[in-house]
Structure 1
Amino acid sequence: MKTLFTASLALLALGTAAHAQAQDAEGRAFPATLSAQAVLPADTQVAAPADAPAHLRQAGKFTTPDRRRADALGTVPGKDGVRPTGVLLPLGGQAVQGFSGIRRIDDGTFWTLSDNGFGSKANSSDAMLMLHHIAIDWDMGTVDRRETVFLSDPDRKAPFPIAMEGSDKRYLTGADFDVESIQPVADGFFVGEEFGPWLLEFDREGRLQSVHETRVGETKVVSPDNPVLQLPADPSKPMPAFNLKRSGGFEGLARSPDGAQLYALLEGPLYTDGKVETVADGRTGLRVIEFDTAKGDWTGRSWIYPLAQDGVAIGDFNMLDATTALVIERDNGAGRAAQGCTGEPKPDCFATPAKLKRIYKIEMSDANVGQPVRKVGYLDLMDVKDPDGKARQGTENGVYDMPFVTIENVDRVDDRHIVVANDNNFPYSAGRALDRADDNEFVLIEAGEFLNAR
């Protein structure tokens, strides 16, 4: 009996130690308080440019389950799994949302971007790629889209035929690139992309200037959506090699304070011989890859971002200073647990409620090149205090939450505040309500202690 009791104590001690180690690995939780919220309605649209081909004047014509063309507007229901979201496709214009990446500029406004359209290359050939200059009125709770820059490739920089190959303006679409992260610079924009994955450079008018293949050291990074891959005609022949899962490319793109480096963060892990990259304690690791902006090439240096136990992906990434940064980390859940399903997914419940939605502060420096970044601490986006009822939607019992499957926008606003926003995957995500497409919610969060933590 004594031996059994002693063994039980030893197991308890091991479990406690493991829990403490996990807490240390993730840093500590910091308080977050809602200061303001602004909402951009889900079904916000913009007209295609006057010189765009007729094909681009409506979007979502190939979103039927079998990809058969649907020319009649409003005939294809948007769904989040088995749950209708109340939106009907095709649209009579271009969908502005969802937003995937944000960067504050000196005048207090922001640049953001719409991601690739309707979720895949196959159904997004009529979804135009675009960047947006926005201003947020926190007092009024509104988002003002001041300018939209439509992306194009007039100089044929893309190393493959684009959907609008034979057109005059050669506008880019979601069948060409999956743009997910943005860094404005003096003469244009750097954009992180997922199909290649590629690092893209555009001028201020949205014209493609350069396309950079991705390398980690000498290893080329290739997604299954990269157009260089071709299936063999003979099934007995070897399949083409790729080492990144679909939608695993550059979800995060940060820039050093002096502009000399970009840091591109993959959303998914690299695979070697069919196995994902991990850190010493077994957690999945995602690569942060350094790019020299003057040389226009990767430096060969990288770091590893270790996911939390329940984390599956990152959502956005921006530097705070030369060595620390903000990263969104998430699971694949959506909706509140109280409305979760039991058994099979149904229209009146959330199949996989949200649990892990966090903003991490990390440290990456010369001292840990090639090694895991240090997680200083995190904010829990499922537990943002709202004692004064600042939220226009999303607060219950004094707590605001973000139960969205994808939260893909974060940046510092000042010494005490950050901005966070969801990507609503329009029209397919419904995490705030069971039967309604999510709006784009921008929140201003007071997190001074977190931002100053070391």
Structure 2
Amino acid sequence: MRFSPALLACVLASPALAEDTFPATLAGHAFLPAFTMITPPQDAPRDLWVSGKFTGPQRNDAPMSVEGDVGKTYGSHKTGISVPFLGQPVQGMSGFAMNRDEDGSWFTLTDNGFGSKINSPDAMLFFHRMLPDFATGQVIRHETVFLRDPDHKVPFRIANEATDSRHLTGADFDPESIQYLDGEIWIGDEFGPYILRVARDGKIVSVHQTKLDGKVLNGPDTAGVVVPAQPGKQFQVQRSGGYEGMALQPGSNLLWGMLEKPLLAEAGQPEGNFLRVMTFDTAKADWTGDSYRFHLAEGATAIGDFNFIDETRALVIERDNGEGDARHACATDAKDQSQCYPQPAKVKNIVLVDTSSIDAEGYIRRIGHIDLLDIADPEGKALEGMKPVEGNFTFPFFTIEDVARVDDTHIMVANDNNLPYSGGREIGKAANNEFILLSVPELLAAK
């Protein structure tokens, strides 16, 4: 087959075709059990001692009475865990901070609770210090810090407005990305989207609206956006499309906030197959005015995390909306989907980008990636019950939302298990919070 010169130039310029795929080898595997609960602090309202009461069509106060399932799109498989919960679920991890604590533990984040602003008013917001032990396969939770607003820094009414403690919940924010700098925590939220500056003890210091080209960006869940609202006009950020990734750049201490999904153009449709990235100056606590674009690979619909590995290069998780190993995919015409995955995982990548290389249209250069659905495991590091019967190890979860550099040759990756609504590893069983250590020397050395 012969190509015209114009078509050939287009093909050669395609990011998907020009990009290298690097190998990945499993070097460690650990997990936090899906059903891991924590007790609210003593000053929390009694309402928060039972969580998940509003996940159904009406209020439900009977603990452990409604079993979760993955939803019709994914085969309606039950997960074996029921809401409401006694206590607060640690559930899925939604971000790793680049900088670790002095004891080597990782700052990591739990998201808004049960997936939306409406169903999470009794889900408390918190971050953790965790340390996976890849020798034993366990994840140690050193500390959990609950977010609260005693100084009334949040610029809208919160769910616990009338309480003295003013603990924040999933009805207030959806925290999805975290960074640690000079004793403070910075959190990227999806609802606003906002950037939260937080003291080490969980107290809100300040809340910052997002600005692009000098204009405030809103989402359908931003305080003050009144429904019905016209997509692309009253709000530009898609629902669940705020800061899924927010990288901290070494040296400059700029936060690079990357939206999870494409912005909506004025007509209400996505503006393109790319994600906006805006930079925020932590020293000035203000936006720099600079913005960039991250090009999604074919089949990818969103990103999961974003972290620098040096002063210019960074890792980005990009993913589709699939869940489950494709080796157990349902047949196209399968009526019984109880033992198969109707929408299996196909695109789950860790992409290396170079933020010092920006083209004329503002696109950040993609250097290459690893495929999380094709991980070699020659030493049998995968834990029992979480390894495939044959073939390479896979990480086939719907939402993979944590990545960070460990050293010159290793990275660590973890999933958000959306408790109790995601499986991915085993049909009929809620996904655990899995942490994997990957040996990827070629990826980390690529320029």
Q: TM-score, normalised by structure 2?
A: 0.93
Q: Does 1:354 align with 2:350?
A: no
Question: Which of 95, 100, 104 is the equivalent residue of 2:94?
Answer: 100
CA contact (8 A) 1:303 1:369 kept: no
Q: Does 1:378 align with 2:374?
A: no
Looking at structure 2, the residues matched to 127 and 26 of structure 1 have their Cα atoms a distance apart, in angstroms, of 44
Q: CA deviation at 1:272?
A: 2.1
1:451 is paired with a residue of what secondary structure? helix
Distance 1:117 1:448, change over 3 A: same
Match of 2:291 in 1: 302
CA contact (8 A) 2:231 2:264 kept: no
1:395-414 Cα deviation digits (max 9, x unpaired) = 44351101101100000000
1:252 is paired with a residue of what secondary structure? strand
Distance 1:292 1:269, change over 3 A: same
1:384 is paired with a residue of what secondary structure? coil
For 2:80, the aligned partner's letter is G
CA contact (8 A) 2:16 2:298 kept: no
Question: Which of 27, 32, 48 is the equivalent residue of 1:40?
Answer: 32
Looking at structure 1, the residues matched to 196 and 106 of structure 2 have their Cα atoms a distance apart, in angstroms, of 19
Structure with max Cα Rg: 1
Looking at structure 1, the residues matched to 296 and 255 of structure 2 have their Cα atoms a distance apart, in angstroms, of 21
Using the aligned pairs only, state the percent identity.
Answer: 46
Q: Which range is displaced more, 440-449 or 368-377?
A: 368-377
Aligned counterparts, 1:141-180, within 5 A: 141-180=137-176
Distance 1:445 1:366, change over 3 A: closer
Q: CA deviation at 1:62?
A: 0.8
Q: Does 1:314 align with 2:303?
A: yes
Match of 2:278 in 1: 289
Q: TM-score, normalised by structure 1?
A: 0.92
Distance 1:238 1:38, change over 3 A: closer
For 1:212, the aligned partner's letter is H
Question: Which of 329, 333, 347 is the equivalent residue of 1:340?
Answer: 329
Looking at structure 2, the residues matched to 222 and 336 of structure 1 have their Cα atoms a distance apart, in angstroms, of 36
CA contact (8 A) 2:40 2:88 kept: yes
Distance 1:398 1:391, change over 3 A: same
CA contact (8 A) 2:232 2:264 kept: no
Question: Which of 250, 270, 276 is the equivalent residue of 2:270?
Answer: 276
Looking at structure 2, the residues matched to 239 and 368 of structure 1 have their Cα atoms a distance apart, in angstroms, of 26
Aligned counterparts, 1:9-408, within 5 A: 9-10=1-2, 20-22=12-14, 27-64=19-56, 66=57, 68-81=58-71, 82-103=76-97, 104-105=99-100, 107-231=103-227, 241-258=234-251, 260-274=253-267, 275-278=269-272, 284-341=273-330, 342-343=332-333, 346-365=337-356, 368=359, 371-392=362-383, 393-408=386-401
Distance 1:146 1:268, change over 3 A: same
CA contact (8 A) 1:231 1:239 kept: no
Looking at structure 2, the residues matched to 380 and 18 of structure 1 have their Cα atoms a distance apart, in angstroms, of 25
Q: CA deviation at 1:216?
A: 1.1
Looking at structure 2, the residues matched to 238 and 34 of structure 1 have their Cα atoms a distance apart, in angstroms, of 43
CA contact (8 A) 2:64 2:82 kept: yes
For 1:60, the aligned partner's letter is G
For 2:427, the aligned partner's letter is L
Looking at structure 1, the residues matched to 233 and 166 of structure 2 have their Cα atoms a distance apart, in angstroms, of 29
For 1:226, the aligned partner's letter is T
For 1:350, the aligned partner's letter is Y
Match of 1:419 in 2: 412
1:308-345 Cα deviation digits (max 9, x unpaired) = 11110000000111211000000000112232223467
CA contact (8 A) 2:159 2:171 kept: yes
Looking at structure 2, the residues matched to 370 and 353 of structure 1 have their Cα atoms a distance apart, in angstroms, of 34
For 1:191, the aligned partner's letter is I
Looking at structure 1, the residues matched to 37 and 49 of structure 2 have their Cα atoms a distance apart, in angstroms, of 11
Q: CA deviation at 1:184?
A: 1.1
Looking at structure 2, the residues matched to 254 and 314 of structure 1 have their Cα atoms a distance apart, in angstroms, of 13
Q: Which runs of 5+ in 1 are unaligned?
A: 1-8, 279-283
1:251-297 Cα deviation digits (max 9, x unpaired) = 0011111253111110011122224233xxxxx11011100111110
Distance 1:321 1:314, change over 3 A: same
CA contact (8 A) 1:259 1:293 kept: no
1:75-106 Cα deviation digits (max 9, x unpaired) = 11111011111111111110001110012515
Q: CA deviation at 1:10?
A: 2.6
Distance 1:186 1:238, change over 3 A: closer
For 1:128, the aligned partner's letter is M
Looking at structure 2, the residues matched to 125 and 26 of structure 1 have their Cα atoms a distance apart, in angstroms, of 46
Q: Does 1:435 align with 2:425?
A: no
Looking at structure 2, the residues matched to 127 and 259 of structure 1 have their Cα atoms a distance apart, in angstroms, of 35
For 2:70, the aligned partner's letter is D
Q: Which runs of 5+ in 2 are unaligned?
A: none
Q: CA deviation at 1:379?
A: 0.4
1:338 is paired with a residue of what secondary structure? helix
Q: CA deviation at 1:306?
A: 0.4
Q: CA RMSD in A?
A: 2.1
Q: CA deviation at 1:239?
A: 10
Distance 1:28 1:250, change over 3 A: same
CA contact (8 A) 1:389 1:395 kept: no
Looking at structure 1, the residues matched to 248 and 379 of structure 2 have their Cα atoms a distance apart, in angstroms, of 35
For 1:296, the aligned partner's letter is A
Match of 1:409 in 2: 402
Distance 1:399 1:366, change over 3 A: closer
For 2:338, the aligned partner's letter is P
Looking at structure 2, the residues matched to 325 and 99 of structure 1 have their Cα atoms a distance apart, in angstroms, of 19
For 1:416, the aligned partner's letter is T
CA contact (8 A) 2:16 2:297 kept: no
For 1:55, the aligned partner's letter is D
For 2:65, the aligned partner's letter is T
CA contact (8 A) 2:260 2:303 kept: yes
